[in-house]
Amino acid sequence: MRTFPPGFLWGAATSGHQTEGNNVTSDYWQREYAPAGTVPEVSGDACDSLHRYPEDIALLAETGLTSYRFGIEWCRIEPERGHVSTAMLDHYRRMVDRCHEHGLTPMVTLNHFTVPRWMDALGGWRHPHAAEMFARFTEIALPVVRDGVPWVCTINEPNIIACREGANLPGVAPVAYGMARPDQRVSAELTRAHRMSREVLTGVPGLRSGWTVATQAIHPLPGCEEQAYAYSRPIEEYFLEAARDDDFVGVQAYTRTFVGPDGALPPPAGAETTLTGWEYFPDALAIGVRNAWKVTGGVPVMVTENGIATADDDRRIDYTRDALTGLHEAIADGVEVHGYYHWSALDNYEWGSWAPTFGLIAVDRRTFRRTPRRSARWLGAAARANGLA
Ligand code: BGC
């Protein structure tokens, strides 16, 4: 039996836009429905979790999991600049309360990729006062997290946001594989936003805050160590270094990236790949966790996302077991890890496509019927045992 530390959190994660449905005041919705849009599939009703969250929470608790990470949507809470929806604050507070009623520890993400349309129109994270806007939103959101929310993620994967903005810069050619060079101005503004948000949150007793970083498990080809570091530093280490004073650092890991003389490379020929086209590589988690621990100089780690898009649920179990085995080894080697959140609780909207199924729980897109998979029961059993058999 591989036992995890006492109080280790076993959870699953979702984001607002990917599950709630009809997130019409968000920038992403606008992009989805833009006449000359480039987003292949729209989110629509998503999983209707806006109304069905009580069922989502109950199902997670029934499996045996002990925590739920979910996002709150800035664009619902502040649909117009300066207009705050008390009803939506109440809604998200009810989600927190519902978690407690079911014995789940809530973890709340303040920003998971989407921003209000009004903020996007002002330039989004490129605006010179984006950080102030986000800090203000953090203050507005305090009633949701002020009491009984021990873990708050400020910004989800700032490194992915900065790379997306980098790819949109004029004159930037699309990368063949991997992540685009981040827009450094956006990286800096996100860092400022995170710090200002944390200043607000630090006043709340018992609340620990941090941000979550998409780790890449970089593998240099022989002789390409320098190129690999040049690729990795602005997209991973920069964001981990910025977490050095935080209460925790969120690690998100899915796959690895090879780097050759000309940059990132696709998975090697013949490698098993998942429904997102990523290499099946469960060790990515332990690599990401160890790197975060090293680069932050010992900031406690929370695995805020790890999972696999697959139609084969047995493969999901294999992947998760192997990822958790590597995580257990990292803990045995002294890395302080407080919990593991599987991505995702539900099959949900994968930013432009419904094809990659990441869920522990299957969702029928027409009826919204939820069906927990065997993997949900498997992870729930690990949670109950606080370990792997
Ligand atoms: C994001 C999720 C996304 C998942 C799988 C992470 O980058 O936080 O929103 O669905 O990976 O792609």
Shortest-distance Cα residue to atom 5 of ligand 1: 350
Pocket test for ligand 1, best of 15, 69, 343, 350 (most atoms within 8 A of CB): 343
> Of all atoms in ligand 1, which is nearest to the CA of residue 350?
10
pLDDT along the chain (389 residues), means of 10: 98 99 98 92 98 99 98 99 98 99 99 98 98 98 98 99 96 92 98 98 97 98 98 98 98 98 96 98 98 98 99 99 99 98 98 98 98 98 97
Shortest-distance Cα residue to atom 10 of ligand 1: 350
Shortest-distance Cα residue to atom 12 of ligand 1: 350
Q: Which residue's entry shows tokens 């710090």?
A: 195
Residues with CB under 6 A from ligand 1: 15, 18, 156-157, 160, 214, 252, 305, 343, 350
Q: What is the pLDDT of residues 145-154, one digit of tens each?
A: 999 999 999 9
Pocket test for ligand 1, best of 113, 179, 216, 305 (most atoms within 8 A of CB): 305
> Of all atoms in ligand 1, which is nearest to the CA of residue 358?
5
- Ligand 1 centre and the CA of 162: distance in Å? 15
> In the prediction, which pLDDT does 37 show?
83
- Ligand 1 centre and the CA of 214: distance in Å? 9
| Conformation bin of residue 44: beta by default, left when phi > 0, alpha when psi is -120 to 50 | left
Shortest-distance Cα residue to atom 7 of ligand 1: 214
Mapping DSSP onto H, E and C, the string for 319-354 reads: HHHHHHHHHHHHHHCCCCEEEEEEECCECCCCCCCC
- Ligand 1 centre and the CA of 358: distance in Å? 9
DSSP class of 311: S
- Ligand 1 centre and the CA of 164: distance in Å? 13
Q: What is the pLDDT of residues 279-302, one digit of tens each?
A: 999 999 999 999 999 999 999 999
CB-CB neighbours of 47 under 10 Å: 28
- Ligand 1 centre and the CA of 309: distance in Å? 10
- Ligand 1 centre and the CA of 1: distance in Å? 31
Q: What is the rounded distance in angstroms from the CA atom of residue 255 to the CA atom of residue 285?
A: 8
Q: Are 253 and 243 in contact (CB under 8 A)?
A: no
> Of all atoms in ligand 1, which is nearest to the CA of residue 309?
5
DSSP class of 256: -
> In the prediction, which pLDDT does 348 show?
98
* H-assigned helices in 46-157: 49-63, 74-77, 86-101, 117-121, 130-145
Q: Which residues contact 340 (CB under 8 A, 6 or more apart)?
A: 8, 9, 10, 11, 303, 306, 324, 327
> In the prediction, which pLDDT does 36 show?
86
Q: What is the rounded distance in angstroms from the CA atom of residue 141 to the CA atom of residue 135?
A: 10
Q: What is the rounded distance in angstroms from the CA atom of residue 48 to the CA atom of residue 273?
A: 30
- Ligand 1 centre and the CA of 159: distance in Å? 12
Q: What is the rounded distance in angstroms from the CA atom of residue 239 to the CA atom of residue 245?
A: 12
- Dihedrals φ, ψ of 12, to 5°? -135, 155
- Ligand 1 centre and the CA of 350: distance in Å? 7
Domain 2-388 belongs to what topology? TIM Barrel (3.20.20)
- Ligand 1 centre and the CA of 112: distance in Å? 9
Q: What is the pLDDT of residues 213-238, one digit of tens each?
A: 999 999 999 999 999 999 999 999 99
Burial class (CB in 10 A: 0-12, 13-18, 19+), 369: exposed
Q: Which residues contact 360 (CB under 8 A, 6 or more apart)?
A: 12, 63, 316, 342, 344, 345, 346, 372, 373, 375, 376, 379
Strands 67-71 and 387-388: what pairing?
Answer: unpaired
Of 245, 149, 161, 237, nearest to 195 by C-alpha is 245
- Ligand 1 centre and the CA of 343: distance in Å? 8
- Ligand 1 centre and the CA of 167: distance in Å? 18
> Of all atoms in ligand 1, which is nearest to the CA of residue 15?
9
> Of all atoms in ligand 1, which is nearest to the CA of residue 307?
5
Pocket test for ligand 1, best of 351, 353, 354, 360 (most atoms within 8 A of CB): 351
> Of all atoms in ligand 1, which is nearest to the CA of residue 212?
8
